[in-house]
């Protein structure tokens, strides 16, 4: 079994290649093991994907349940796992720091903190508080006995604030506060992604699986992007197939969806192979 420190060093090295790597987002142990079997080099959790699997909306799981989920994902595979830690599950910088310390105990080797408040009336933290929260997270990371890759997220574009200048200002401040990776989910235009990459000197993560983003991994690599995540897209793709199958049965009484289903033996074989490795 690969140690947490070994996973951490591998994950750190992936961010310094001359091309972007894809870090897909499983939502449970089964999908984590399937992704590992397919040959990906690292995984990232999806707060939304996990929440949907628990029958609740995103950001409704809570810290304790999320930590248990991360513990299960980390133990499921030898791959490095990075965590979607939402906004740290609390507003106060000290609470965010505590979330980082607790999450590191689950076996993960990286994680992200958002500058989103979960308040529809005021969805983004004020600039000063947002930076303070990142600084507190970085101090917590420095106390860990392995190289935890901390990602700071600027959430403007996911909350109806497509302000590139403010997004870049925040990412630059997060960089100055010590973040290892920078991330502005919701960017879809090539020129905006290029502007973000050109404005900082840390690895940049780009989220795919959004309407409007059509860039390939090779194209994102040429822009200087270092990491490409899928967010909740894999979960939503699976749920989309599930809902289409249900609609076919209800509306037509037919079952042609089974022709697109993964083979029973194929899944069994893949999971059995991963189970032997852990």
Average pLDDT over residues 50-70: 98
Q: Is residue 241 part of a domain?
A: no
Q: 259 lies in a domain? A: no
Asked whether residue 54 is assigned to any structural domain, the reply reads: yes
Count of structural domains within the chain = 1
Q: How far apart are CA 88 and CA 97, in angstroms?
A: 8
Q: Residue 177 domain-assigned?
A: yes
Domain for residue 213, yes or no? yes
Percent of the chain predicted with pLDDT > 70: 99
pLDDT by residue (tens digit) across 216-231?
Answer: 999 999 999 999 999 9
- Does residue 53 lie in a domain region? yes
CATH code of the domain in which 212 resides: 3.20.20.60
Q: Look at 1-5, 44-48, 49-53, 143-147 and tell me which has the smallest mean pLDDT.
A: 1-5
Q: What is the torsional sign of CA 152, 158, 159, 165?
A: positive
Question: Is 149's pLDDT higher than 70?
Answer: yes
Model pLDDT, residue 226: 98
| CA 251 – CA 230 distance, rounded (Å) | 31
pTM: 0.96
Rounded-to-integer distance, Cα 189 and Cα 201, Å: 20
Query: Per the domain annotation, does 57 fall within a domain?
Result: yes
Q: Give the count of alpha carbons within 13 A of 65, CB side only.
A: 13
Total Cβ atoms within 10 A of residue 158: 20
Each residue of 106-140: pLDDT tens digit?
999 999 999 999 999 999 999 999 999 999 999 99
Mean pLDDT confidence for 144-168: 98
What's the pLDDT at 273?
87
Tokens of 235: 């979960």
The reported pLDDT for the residue numbered 278 is: 64
The CA distance from 227 to 79, in Å, is: 16
Residue 26's domain comprises 4-234
Is 269 domain-assigned?
Answer: no
- What pLDDT does 140 receive? 98
In this prediction, residue 211 carries a pLDDT of: 81
Question: What percent of the chain lies above the pLDDT cut of 90?
Answer: 96
């Amino acid at each position: 079994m690969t140690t947490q420190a070994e996973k951490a060093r591998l994950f750190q090295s992936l961010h310094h290649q001359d091309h972007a790597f894809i870090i897909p987002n499983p939502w449970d142990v089964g999908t984590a093991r399937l992704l590992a079997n397919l040959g990906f080099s690292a995984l990232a959790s999806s707060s939304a994907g996990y929440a949907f699997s628990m029958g609740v909306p995103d950001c409704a799981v809570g810290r304790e349940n999320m930590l248990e989920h991360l513990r299960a994902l980390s133990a499921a595979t030898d791959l490095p796992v990075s965590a979607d830690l939402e906004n740290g599950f609390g507003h106060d910088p000290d609470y965010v720091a505590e979330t980082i310390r607790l999450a590191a105990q689950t076996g993960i080797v990286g994680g992200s903190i958002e500058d989103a408040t979960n308040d529809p009336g005021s969805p983004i933290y004020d600039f000063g508080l947002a930076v303070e929260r990142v600084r507190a997270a970085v101090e917590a990371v420095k106390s860990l006995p392995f190289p935890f890759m901390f990602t700071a997220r600027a959430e403007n574009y996911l909350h109806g604030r497509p302000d590139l200048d403010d997004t870049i200002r925040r990412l630059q401040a997060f960089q100055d506060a010590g973040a290892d990776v920078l991330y502005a989910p919701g960017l879809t235009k090539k020129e905006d992604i290029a502007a973000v990459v050109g404005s900082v000197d840390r690895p940049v993560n780009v989220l795919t699986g959004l309407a409007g983003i059509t860039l390939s991994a090779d194209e994102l690599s040429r822009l200087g992007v270092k990491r490409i995540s899928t967010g909740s897209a894999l979960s939503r793709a699976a749920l989309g197939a599930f809902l289409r199958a249900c609609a076919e049965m209800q509306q037509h009484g037919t079952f042609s969806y089974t022709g697109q289903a993964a083979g029973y033996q194929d899944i069994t074989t893949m999971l059995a192979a991963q189970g032997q490795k852990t």
